[in-house]
Chain A
Amino acid sequence: MARDYFRWAQALFDPARLHEKPEALHGIRVLDLSVIIFGPATADFLGELGAEVIKVEMPGQGDVTRILGGASFFWKNVSVAFFSQNHSKYHVGIDMHKPEGQGLVRKLAARSDIVIENFKAGCLEEKFGIGYRQLREVNPRLIYVANTGFGQWGPFARGRASYDGLAQAVSGLTAITGLPGEHPTKIGNYIGDWFGACMSAVGALAALHWRDRTGEGQFVEMAQCEGLLRAMDWTWLYAGLTKRDRPRTGNRDPVFSPSGVYRCKDGFVALVAGTDAEFRRLALMLGQPGLARNPRFATRESRRNPENADRMDALVQQWCERRSRSQVEKTARRFGVPAAPVMTGKDHYESRHLRARRSVWEHEDPVYGPMVEYGPAPKLSATPARIKWAGKPVGFHNEFVLKKILGLSDDEIQSLTMAGVVGKWADKVGAKPPDDWKGEGILL
């Protein structure tokens, strides 16, 4: 019966047939005016689900993410940091500082469903005349998504820029991460950007649902600091009730005991036994079934007593350090104890499971050749999300976008190019194609 379920689920989601299936957001056009990660990722997620995304960049150098990183980050003339939030987009180079450039953005917005930007609050309106109030004049159904650090208004909103790391700090998330008494632990990825972008896309789609019911567009905003403080479970309730800060507890989850990250012969594993049943199985796995009857460990409450938790931690640590990650994983699986290796990028790359699910996604791009990236997170059976192609050099699709959507002629495009209103890549690392590129992938 269970076997039968997994065969059925495999067929239902079969990644080999993914491109035969329709896309959920087919017909939705997203105009992406944003840079770095927070905005571009919001657009990217909608693109994975089938929206057509047009990414507008400054002609010449383009999005700063193209040149992020030390020398070891550069690959085929671009930083690897550029790709994960710029899949399957159409790249157009438009200078929004110029009135004609602003005119082009207005025309594109008139033909789009969703606009995404992550400039400082009010910047697009005040500096460029293409803020929400101007764009809704040309498109009343427009959903305008603005991602910022602190929001569009309020004491911190004006003049204060933000990055992910700042959101980690001011939201309190850093304060509850790591061990007490040590220097702050900076979370190793740009979590405030990615989580914020994810939530922003949820807001955009909720607005789309409302628009389908009523015809009304609206302004949606997401602040990355507010996204992280929203994602701190019982922190605020605890502070309200006790007037105390939730303590930092390192790798021990204060709700579940035992829980932690343990050193093995070849790396680390995470292990949790949150229920009494899981603890009984853990005791068996450790070869000490009596632990489950010992009053210090028999109940969830007794296991959470710090002294008992320390003792239990030591026992689990002793057991793990004599084994490899895969030995722990296999044995824990056999006993029904939740445990998993702390995976690295190499582990992801080599994981059969993640490859089979296209969570690690191999594709071949006409400009960059074979690529391996993280694939879409949610799996939809009827309308699977997908990667179609990789991010492209600045202005790579200028002719396509300007002709197909705006109907401009070659002459018009040429004079806009001469005037510096539209443009492609400069001869600079980050912006330009790989050295061995011979014109592959150009659409028009």
Chain B
Amino acid sequence: MTERVAWHEWIRREEDPARTSERPEALDDLVVLDISQGHYGAFLTGTYLAELGAEVIKVEPPGGDPIRRWGPPDATANGTGLAFVAEARNKYCVTLNLDKRQGRTMLKGLGARADVLIEGFSPGYLDRLGLGYRQLSKINPRLIYVACSTYGQFGPNATAQTGEYDLIDQALSGLIHLTGDPDGPPIRVGSWISAYAQAAWASMAILAALYWRKTSQQGQMIDVSGAEALLRYLEYTVLLYHATNQVRGRMGLYELAVFPYTFVRVKDGYAFIAGYTDLNFQAICRVMGRPELARDPRFNTTLQRTRLENEVLLRDEIEKWSATLTADEILKQVLADPGPGIIVFGPMNAPTKVLQEAHWWERGCFRTVADPLYGELLLQMPAWRMTRTPPRLKWACRPLGYHNEHVYQKYFGLGPGRLAELKSQGVL
């Protein structure tokens, strides 16, 4: 039985970003320890879980996580690196010195109580400190222990790790090799995309492990390589080599599998346009006022359209039309087309232009937060919409050790006097 109100009205009301705080949180029964240092993928794993409601305790050395200094050279938020401030949300920030015996004892105490522990050290490092999965699983057999690294915890290259960087992971994944013009160098993706992918896989594996824990009562160890996180996104690349001996290379603005599916010049910049099935390609030709192109023997089948020489010719034909119009003008024409067929079109937006689009603000993708310590912050919001348990931003970022009193009082009953003592001993 369909209710009277239309779907998009109904779902808009159900997902109303303004009412998020009235709803419960999916993961608010979980305690997560993020003990990583200088590791963005591990850091983001904690962020995702914190957005979904988990209590995430970010454990930092007394000098702070090096990520606090990561960001562009020409801007900080009151001295803190923007890469940290952007993603430190909803976490409890505590200090703990794992080089001290007392610090390690306290970490074991937290580990005994946690559902999930996330780390991003060189494989074997925490094991040497007596804080690896081998040791912590004896204290807490239900613990789900996640280790992030470049090459993973096992396999021939596992012993030869260095600090994990997005650029290195992008290179190993093969994504860089596929990006850029065929006669130019390989190009990296501009954001730390491997870290976001690594965190997504880690979160997925954690939640699957939690599901299994309900029946087995057992935790486990999860190993996530940032390189493999992106490698799994490379679709058919390795199968193509296996099946046909072709090594997939860079195609620039062209495509092996589908065309048109490319960027074209428009009057005010560049835009993306696609319509690769026959029906959708006919729609593009119709909107361009060039219906004869759809019948042209060079372009009239998917096989013809994906011949590289035809792709180049076709893209030129599209540009003859697109370059005379602005992206907005073209979008209007595309949306007014009655069909049949679907044209996928949109401008290539610079970030400041993205921020002018009402759509994202209405949907709550961005929020400006007046933070008492860091000032006015423009932040991206959680990516998921959930009607019953919407994820959310609660606070943006807190200074080093800000939650020491709360967390250590809560988990160890330590009062201010004892905390001061631990601090003077260099444990916190």
15 examples of A-B residue contacts, CB within 8 angstroms: A25-B211, A80-B240, A154-B12, A229-B365, A231-B196, A242-B75, A249-B190, A250-B187, A251-B167, A255-B83, A260-B167, A348-B174, A356-B154, A357-B155, A377-B232
Q: Which of A253-280 contact B (CB under 8 A)?
A: 253-256, 259-261, 263, 268-270, 272, 274-275, 278
* Option from A159, A163, A200, A359 in Cβ contact (under 8 Å) with B228: A359
Nearest chain A CB to B354 CB, angstrom units: 4
Stretch of A52-60, A96-104, A214-222, A288-296 at the chain-chain interface: A214-222
The one of A2, A134, A176, A372 that contacts B242, using a Cβ cutoff of 8 Å: A372
Q: In the bound complex, do residue A237 and residue B82 qualify as a contact, i.e. CB atoms below 8 Å apart?
A: yes
Instruction: Verify A156–B159 contact, CB threshold 8 A.
Output: no
Tell me which residues across on chain B come within 8 A of A208, comparing CB atoms: 207, 211
Near A by CB (< 8 A), chain B positions 307-355 give 307, 335, 342-355
Q: Please, which residues of chain A bring their CB within 8 A of the CB of B362?
A: 154-155
Identify which of residues 200-249 in chain A touch chain B, using a CB-to-CB cut-off of 8 Å. Answer: 200-203, 205-210, 212-213, 216-223, 226-227, 229-246, 248-249
Nearest A residue (CB) for B247 = A346
| Interface hub of B7, B48, B74, B134 (most chain A Cβ within 10 A) | B7
- Report the separation of the CA atoms of residues A293 and B155 in the bound assembly, to the nearest whole angstrom: 37
How far apart sit A219 and B302, CA to CA, in the bound complex (Å)? 36
How long is the Cα–Cα vector from A385 to B233 in the complex, in angstroms? Answer: 16
Task: Select A166's contact among B81, B274, B363, beta carbons within 8 Å.
Answer: B274
Q: Is A400 an interface residue (CB 8 A)?
A: no
Q: Annotate A141-181 by CB proximity to B: 1 below 8 A, 0 otherwise.
A: 00000000111111111111111011011111111111100
A343-366 toward B: CB 8 Å interface, digit per residue (1/0)?
111111100111011011000000
Stretch of A119-127, A402-410, A411-419, A435-443 lying at the B interface: A119-127
A6 and B263 in contact, given A178-B180, A190-B235 (Cβ under 8 angstroms): no
Alpha-carbon gap, A161 to B150, bound state (A): 36
Q: A221-B15, A253-B166 are in contact. Are A353 and B155 (CB under 8 A)?
A: yes
Contact B29 A230 (CB under 8 A): no
CA distance A162 to B343 in the complex (A): 9
Check B114 for interface membership: any CB of A closer than 8 A: no
In the bound complex, what is the Cα–Cα distance between A83 and B224 (angstroms)? Answer: 23
Let me know if B201 and A377 touch, CB within 8 A.
Answer: yes
Residues B208 and A207 in contact, CB atoms below 8 Å apart: no
Contacts of A165 in B (CB 8 A): 261-263, 272, 274, 344
Chain B proximity mask over A98-141: 1 for CB below 8 Å, otherwise 0: 00000000000000000000000110011001011110010000
Q: Which of B196-238 contact A (CB under 8 A)?
A: 196-197, 200-205, 207-212, 214, 216, 218-225, 227-229, 231-238
| Contact among A80, A194, A222, A229 for B360, CB-based, below 8 A | A229
Q: Which of B26, B302, B359 contacts A150 (CB 8 A)?
A: B359
CB distance B385 to A220 under 8 Å?
yes
CA A241 to CA B376, docked complex, whole Å: 8
The one of B73, B185, B234, B307 in contact with A268, judged by C-beta atoms closer than 8 angstroms, is B185
Chain A min CB distance to B256 (Å): 6
Contact A75 B243 (CB under 8 A): yes
Bound CA span A205–B49, Å = 12
Interface residue? A92 (CB, 8 A): no
Minimum CB–CB distance from A384 to chain B (whole Å) comes to 9
B185 interface neighbour in A83, A217, A255, A263, Cβ under 8 Å: A263
Contact of A241 among B177, B195, B250, B378 (CB under 8 A): B378
Which chain B residues border A392 with CB–CB below 8 Å? none
**Docked CA distance A430–B227 (Å):** 31
Interface size class of chain B, counting residues whose CB lies under 8 Å from the partner chain: 35 or more
Residues of B within 8 A of A73 (CB): 236, 240, 244, 256-257
Question: What string of 1s and 0s marks CB contacts (under 8 Å) between A63-96 and chain B?
Answer: 0100111111101100111011100000000000
A195 in contact with B52 (CB, 8 Å): no
Give the Cβ gap from A328 to chain B, nearest Cβ, in Å. 11
Is A240 a contact partner of B160 (Cβ separation < 8 A)? no
Whether A1 is near chain B, meaning CB under 8 Å from some CB there, is: yes
| Interface presence of B288 (CB below 8 A) | no
Q: Are B166 and A153 in contact (CB under 8 A)?
A: no
Check if A313 is an interface residue, CB within 8 A of chain B.
no
Chain A residue contacts of B40, Cβ below 8 A: 233
On chain A, the residues within 8 Å of B307 by CB distance are 70
Instruction: Please determine whether B363 and A206 come into contact, CB atoms closer than 8 angstroms.
Output: no
Pairwise interchain contact A353-B151, C-beta atoms closer than 8 A: yes
Task: Say if the beta carbon of B246 comes within 8 Å of chain A.
Answer: yes
Q: In the complex, are the beta carbons of A205 and B207 less than 8 A apart?
A: yes
Report the separation of the CA atoms of residues A149 and B382 in the bound assembly, to the nearest whole angstrom: 16
Beyond the given pairs A5-B132, A9-B158, A49-B208, 7 more chain A to chain B contacts, judged by CB atoms under 8 angstroms and listed by A's residue number, are A50-B208, A71-B303, A184-B348, A342-B177, A343-B173, A381-B223, A382-B221
Report chain B residues within 8 Å CB of A251: 167, 176, 185-188
Q: Is the CB of A169 within 8 A of B349?
A: yes
Q: How far is the CB of B342 from chain A (nearest CB, A)?
A: 5
Q: How many A-B contacts if CB must be within 8 Å?
A: 603
CA distance A171 to B350 in the complex (A): 8
Q: Please indicate the chain A residues that have their CB under 8 angstroms from the CB of B131 in the complex.
A: none
Q: How large is the interface on A (under 10, 10 to 19, 20 to 34, 35 or more residues)?
A: 35 or more
Q: Which of B83, B191, B218, B391 is most buried by chain A, counting CB atoms within 10 A of its CB?
A: B191
Which residues of the other chain, A, contact B382 by a CB distance below 8 angstroms? 230
Q: Give complex CA distance A332, B161 in Å.
A: 11
Q: Cα distance A154–B247 when bound, in Å?
A: 42
Q: Known: A170-B354, A190-B235. Is A178-B187 also a contact (CB below 8 A)?
A: yes
Query: Would B179 and A337 count as touching, CB distance under 8 A?
Result: no
Bound-state CA distance A254–B133 (Å) is: 35
The stretch from B92-100, B102-110, B120-128, B406-414 touching chain A is B120-128
Considering the complex, give the chain B residue whose CB is closest to the CB of A84: B235
Asked whether any CB of chain B lies closer than 8 Å to the CB of A186, the reply is yes
Say yes or no: is A333 at the interface (Cβ < 8 Å to chain B).
yes
For window 241-262 of B, CB contacts with A under 8 Å fall at 241-244, 246-253, 256-258, 261-262
Given the interface pairs A121-B7, A153-B8, the reply to whether A356 lies near B235 with Cβ below 8 Å is no
A73-B257, A84-B239, A153-B8 in contact; A221/B232 too (CB < 8 A)?
A: no
Q: Please determine whether A353 and B352 come into contact, CB atoms closer than 8 angstroms.
A: no
Query: Is A338 located at the chain interface by the 8 A CB criterion?
Result: yes
Least Cβ–Cβ distance between B99 and chain A, in angstroms: 16
Name the one of A185, A190, A240 contacting B179, with C-beta atoms under 8 angstroms.
A185
A372 contacts which of B7, B27, B238, B357 (Cβ < 8 Å)?
B238
Contact stretch, chosen from B64-72, B292-300, B418-426: B64-72
Give chain B residues whose Cβ lies under 8 Å from the Cβ of A254.
72-73
Q: Decide if B189 touches A173 in the complex (CB within 8 Å).
A: yes
Q: Does A359 contact B2, Cβ atoms closer than 8 Å?
A: no
The answer to whether B73 and A301 have CB atoms under 8 Å apart is: yes
Among A129, A219, A374, find the residue whose CB has the most chain B CB atoms closer than 10 A: A374
Contacts of B34 in A (CB 8 A): none
A135–B123 Cα gap in the complex (Å)?
46
Which residues on B sit within 8 Å (CB–CB) of A338? 150, 162-165, 168
- A94 vs B218: C-alpha distance in the bound complex, in angstroms? 40
B172 interface contact, C-beta 8 A: yes
Q: Which residues of B contact A200 (CB under 8 A)?
A: 384
Interface check A286, CB cutoff 8 A: no
Residues of B within 8 A of A371 (CB): 239, 242
A241 touches B75 (CB 8 A): yes
CB pair B163–A333 under 8 Å, yes or no, is no
A287 contacts the other chain (Cβ, under 8 Å)? no
Question: Is A426 an interface residue when CB atoms closer than 8 A count as contact?
Answer: no
**Known contacts A80-B243, A203-B386: does B186 contact A342 (CB below 8 Å)?**
yes
Task: Give chain A nearest CB distance to B129 CB in angstroms.
Answer: 11
Contact: A187 with B189, CB < 8 Å? yes
Complex CA–CA separation, A185 to B241 (angstroms)? 24
Q: Does B417 contact A (CB under 8 A)?
A: no
**Shortest beta-carbon distance, A204 to chain B, in Å?**
9
Minimum C-beta distance from B221 to chain A (A): 4
In the complex, whether B373 has a CB less than 8 A from a CB of chain A is no
